Every structure is written in C-alpha cells, then in structure tokens.
Amino acid sequence: MQKKRIILILDIDISLNMEIINGIESYIAENNLDWDIFPISYNKINILENIIETETIDGIIGSFAGNQIHYIKNKIIPIVNISSISKVSNFSSVLNDNHKTGESVAEHLFSNKLKHLYFCGQKTFESSEQMLNGFMAFAEKHSIKVNEAPPFFLNNAREDIYKWLKNIRTPCGIFCTNSIIARSIVNEAQTLKLNIPDDLCMVVLNGSKLDSLICGTELSTISPNGQEIGKQSANMLKKLLDQKSAKPKTEYIAPKKIEVRYSSSFIAGKHPKYAQAYTYILNNYRKPITINQIARKIGVSRRKLELIFQEESHTSPYKAITNERIKLAKKLLNTTNMKIIEIAETCGYSEQRQLSVTFKKITGTSPKQFRNHNV
C-alpha cells in the first residue's frame, strides 16, 4: 500500500498543537495507517501553495486563514478543518464544542453560588458568539443575569476597563475568552482593591501557566480537548480518503473539564491550606487519589490536613472526595446512557461495587434505582 502524505497546519497555540499531534499519531498507530505527517506552523504557511503544486499530497488537516482557503478550495484534496475561527463551510471540520464550553463555565460559576455573570469575549469571532450563547443558555435556565462586557477589552483600554469594573455587581463570575482580557481585568482589579476570587471569580479559555505567572494569580481554565480533536480529525480524514465523494460534515468535541485554580475556587477565601487541598480535590477526584497524597501536595501532615478540614467545613478530606464523586455520578446517571461500570471509572472508583456501596450509603438508593427513578 502506498504511503499517504498528510499536511498538518498548526496555529499559534503550542500546547494545543502538541495535543492534536499526539491525537493524530495515536489514531495512526491504533489503526495501522501508513501515513507521513508534515507539520507546517502558522508562520510558515506561505509555503503551502508551493508544496501542493510540487508534491503529491493526499490530505490536509489544519487551521486555515482566508487566503489559504481561497487557494485550496478548488483543489481535489481531502481537507479537515480544526479551527472554529476558519470560515470553511465547504470543508469537513472537527471543532471544539464552543456552546458546551460556555455552558460548562456558567455551570462552574453557578456552583460557586454567584448570581451575577459577565462574559468578556470578542464579537468578531463566531467561536466567541457560540460560547456566549452556551453561557447564556445555562444562565437563563437558572434565572441568572448575564452581562456582556463592552468591546474595549480588545484595545486594552485601561481607563474604560477601570470604569467598567468599578460599576459591576460583586461578587460575580467572569468568563474571559482569552488570556489578554483576563490579564487586563486582573490588573485593574488590583487598582480597585477587588479581591480574586471573592469579588471576581474568573475562568479563562485555554489559559496557560505562563498566563497565570504574568497575571500574578492562578487562573482557572477551560481548554479544548486537543487529543480527541486530533484523533477525530484523523478519523474523518481517513473516511474522506476512503470515500472521495463524501459530503462535508462537522463534528463537535466537548472541552476538557475546567481546571480549577485559585481565580475561581469558591473556597479560596478560607484557610489557605484548605483552599489548596480542596482545589486539588476538585481537579483530581476522578482519579484514585489518597489523603496522604493530598497532604504531601500541600505540605502538611495527614493529621494536620484532617484538622484543617474539620475546622473549615466540619467534614473530612475523605468525605469531600466522596461527595464530589457522588455528585458527578448523579449527574452522569441523569444525563448520559453510560454503563454504571463506566460511571464508576469516570468518578475515580476502581470497580463498580465501590461506587454502588458508597452511592447507596449516601443517597439511600442504588445507582440503577436512582437512574430509573429519574428517567
């Protein structure tokens, strides 16, 4: 079988690019495909035309700018777009589910008991509009008012941001669709002596550790699932290669769960070690974590950790982990068709029986009975 030559066009986000590459390579290995991948970074895109004209190219996966689309749209090459920003209705696409992204952030902020939500995005991008729609859809279901911030964030107009922050209702939840907006808000909040997260509870789209370092506060973040986007884009390209006449279609990939950091941790205003421990639990309770592991992570003894939890919340670290797991299990039982054994694994249990025993102890009913009762 002749080796397939596939071009991968990457955008500016290095960490997301690496996940996408890993996802594509994983799919190739799992399916025994004889593909050669040729990555091209966004700043080298001018060589795309020359490659297509001089080389045999079997397919393209990537993020496309307007001039690239104009050039390749008449080429008989299977193409899969992976960027929500690209206007490519005539191509197949595998995209981050922006509506779900907005919903997830609103749900997280709602869990912090916030009644005022603000969306800080870029109206020029369709992806931002989709996130706003998801954000508002969740908020409306729970009778929460959403305010869309004015567009001056794009210009980093400090005076306008200062005035806007001065008049918002606190405590509030803020969703920033990029880290530049988040940084601007954090800077002006410090001037106004607004505390994060107690006054401003913030989540940023695709925030990196570097963004947190620059801001001076750890930013909670929600990110596209690059690994899954990579896998599904390779899967879609394979189908296009096998069926040359396939009609364009779009597949949406749910984002990763929110990585809760200090900027949106509702327990951040409590004992700093309690805040660190509970934030670690929120980010890791789906894994088989232990109390000793949490204690080591935050630099205290197990006994000290247990005393801190008792003092701050009248519970134990073990019960905190269990409560988060059962809360997730209830949600999955109500909203998905996942098998109970799959739910157990998703919630951090090594076997179904562990979930069943714990679930019944806390709710008074088995997972199966709970699902049947709520159908």
CB 146 within 8 A of CB 91: no
Q: What is the pLDDT of residues 207-227, one digit of tens each?
A: 888 888 888 888 999 999 999
Mean pLDDT of the chain: 87
Q: Lowest mean pLDDT: which of 29-38, 152-161, 235-244, 298-307?
A: 152-161
DSSP state at residue 259:
B
Name which of 301, 341, 294, 342 is nearest 319 in CA terms. Answer: 294
Q: What pLDDT sits at residue 153? A: 58
| Confidence class for position 11, pLDDT limits 50, 70, 90 | confident
CA distance 189 to 199: 9
Tell me which H or E stretch contains 14. helix 14-30
The mean pLDDT of 328-345, rounded to a whole number, is 91
Sequence-ordered alpha helix ranges (H) in 93-195: 98-111, 126-141, 158-167, 179-191
CA distance 157 to 173: 21
Structural domains of the chain, with CATH = 4-95+225-253 (3.40.50.2300), 98-222 (3.40.50.2300), 267-374 (1.10.10.60)
| Confidence class for position 245, pLDDT limits 50, 70, 90 | low
Q: How far is CA 127 from each of CA 90, 123, 132, 300, rounded to the nearest angstrom?
A: 18, 9, 9, 43
CA distance 327 to 191: 38
pLDDT higher than threshold 80 for residue 89? no
pLDDT higher than threshold 70 for residue 239? yes
Q: What pLDDT sits at residue 368? A: 92
Axis-axis angle for helices 291-298, 272-284 (nearest 10)? 130
CA distance 358 to 83: 42
Q: What pLDDT sits at residue 155? A: 57
Query: pTM for this one?
Result: 0.80
CA distance 130 to 72: 27
Q: Lowest mean pLDDT: which of 67-71, 196-200, 262-266?
A: 67-71
pLDDT higher than threshold 90 for residue 322? yes
The mean pLDDT of 293-318, rounded to a whole number, is 94
CA distance 255 to 72: 29
The mean pLDDT of 306-326, rounded to a whole number, is 93
Name which of 25, 2, 79, 13 is nearest 230 in CA terms. Answer: 25
Tokens matching residue 367:
């997972």
Q: Percentage of the chain with pLDDT > 70?
A: 91
The alpha carbon torsion through 348, 251, 203, 187 (nearest 10 deg) reads: 140
Residue predicted with more confidence, 296 or 40: 296
Q: How far is CA 146 from each of CA 86, 161, 196, 364, rounded to the nearest angstrom?
A: 27, 18, 19, 37
Pairing of strands 59-62, 35-40: unpaired
Number of residues that make up the chain: 375
Q: What pLDDT sits at residue 31? A: 94
CA distance 249 to 240: 10
The mean pLDDT of 321-336, rounded to a whole number, is 91
Q: What is the pLDDT of residues 139-174, one digit of tens each?
A: 999 988 888 887 665 555 778 888 889 999 988 999
The DSSP secondary structure of 227-241, one letter per residue, reads HHHHHHHHHHHHHHH
Q: What pLDDT sits at residue 82? A: 92
Other CB atoms within 10 Å distance of the CB of residue 177? 25
CA distance 204 to 222: 7
The mean pLDDT of 94-123, rounded to a whole number, is 91
Peptide bond into 197 cis (omega under 30): yes
Q: What pLDDT sits at residue 122? A: 81
DSSP state at residue 88:
-
Q: What is the pLDDT of residues 25-80, one digit of tens each?
A: 999 999 999 999 988 876 666 677 677 777 778 888 988 765 555 556 556 788 89
